[in-house]
Amino acid sequence: MPKNLKNEILLVGKGLKDKISYAKNVKSLEDIRISALGKKGEITNYLKQLKSFDHEQRIQLGSVLNEIKNNLLNSLEEKKRIIINEELEKKLLDEKIDITLQESPNNQGTLHPLSKTIDDISAIFADMGFEIAVGPDIETDYYNFTALNIPEDHPARQEHDTFYLQPDHDGFRKVLRTHTSPVQIRTLEKINIEKLDELRVIVPGRTYRSDHDATHSPMFHQCEGLVIGKKIKMSHLKGALIEFCRVFFGSENLPVRFRPSFFPFTEPSAEVDIGCKKLQDGSLSIGGGEDWLEILGSGMVHPKVLSGVGIDPDLYQGFAFGMGLERLTMLKYGIPDLRPFYDSDLRWLKHYGFLGIEETSLHSGLNGVNS
């Protein structure tokens, strides 16, 4: 066999093998196969030339060409498998869902200042043996006014700026409760005071009045308090409320003042003020000082209210109080405007809100107890 020819063939084989190893996809592999082993392929051409050699040379050259041909076919097969595998892997990788992606930290919520206030108030009164009671936001005229000794022609009804609903089929118009006091009546109707040594409840909840400015919102929150027992006196009212104010504002010697007032459902009635100081910049400092700030209404439950729910006022007495929760929250945390309370603005919440729910959280009580 001409030596040169054999070398030439081996070189061509090597060149084709290199091309196979550099191939990037199945299509170029197929091109290489055709260029080598197709009808007009390089190796095919050599095979076609075999017949011009003598027998001996034909056998030698034929075996070299066949070896190269088989070798190339194996390489093509092997490379094809590798390319298909790589393509599959790339496809899988592209389609993979990255479940390690971090949640946006902006979405983390904080406890709304009002919720914090409700939790704090609930915890303070729980320590004094109070339970949480609830009642409906939509009230009848009877519970919101009449049963609380506010008859139809009473001027207090006008002061409440009541939202009235469309008349029911029986012609009566329900109201959005203007205070949490109707829950006093609902609770007293439900319990049997003779079996109960003493009733102590607070009622945190939503209330409504047609009023809107920097310190008033048509929907706001109050917390009612009610204690009924055989020996309840004005001194209990004072003791409980002084204790509450001092713990809530975190000021042990906070001055607390009881100022005569009027509510149809309490007699005597008192408004409760706490001592404060007006600072140069116009803000308030809770605690000692020249000024007083009104924070809640209170009084001894009116005998008419008790007898109205079948409790003998000669045997039982009690005290009640009611406070605006937005107002308390604004005072405690120095929040100047009420309106952003309901804007759901995360920047405001980040500024005034509280991270994490504390272990004392009794807020859930709003949804269940005594309903």
Residues found near ligand PHE in the complex (CB under 6 A):
179, 181, 224, 263, 266, 297-299, 320-322
State the nearest-atom distance from the C-beta of 243 to ligand PHE, in Å. 17
State the nearest-atom distance from the C-beta of 324 to ligand PHE, in Å. 8
210: Cβ contacts below 8 Å, ≥ 6 apart: 161, 162, 163, 218
What is the distance between the alpha carbons of residues 199 and 187, in angstroms, rounded to a whole number?
9
Residue closer to ligand PHE by CB (options 208, 341) is 208
Contact 335, 114 (CB under 8 A): no
Residue closer to ligand PHE by CB (options 322, 365) is 322
In 184-279, beta strands by DSSP E: 199-208, 219-229, 256-263, 266-278
State the nearest-atom distance from the C-beta of 124 to ligand PHE, in Å. 17
Residue closer to ligand PHE by CB (options 13, 225) is 225
What is the distance between the alpha carbons of residues 64 and 42, in angstroms, rounded to a whole number?
14
Coil, helix or strand for 216?
strand
Residue 344 burial (10 A CB sphere; 0-12, 13-18, 19+): exposed
State the nearest-atom distance from the C-beta of 110 to ligand PHE, in Å. 29
46: Cβ contacts below 8 Å, ≥ 6 apart: 9, 12, 61, 65
Residue closer to ligand PHE by CB (options 113, 318) is 318
Residue closer to ligand PHE by CB (options 244, 263) is 263
State the nearest-atom distance from the C-beta of 296 to ligand PHE, in Å. 7
Residue nearest to ligand PHE (CB): 322
Residue closer to ligand PHE by CB (options 321, 341) is 321
The gap from C-alpha 125 to its chain's centroid, in whole angstroms, comes to: 26
State the nearest-atom distance from the C-beta of 227 to ligand PHE, in Å. 11
State the nearest-atom distance from the C-beta of 299 to ligand PHE, in Å. 5
The residue type of 187 is T
The residue type of 196 is L
DSSP 235-248: HHHHHHHHHHHHHH
Residue closer to ligand PHE by CB (options 41, 322) is 322
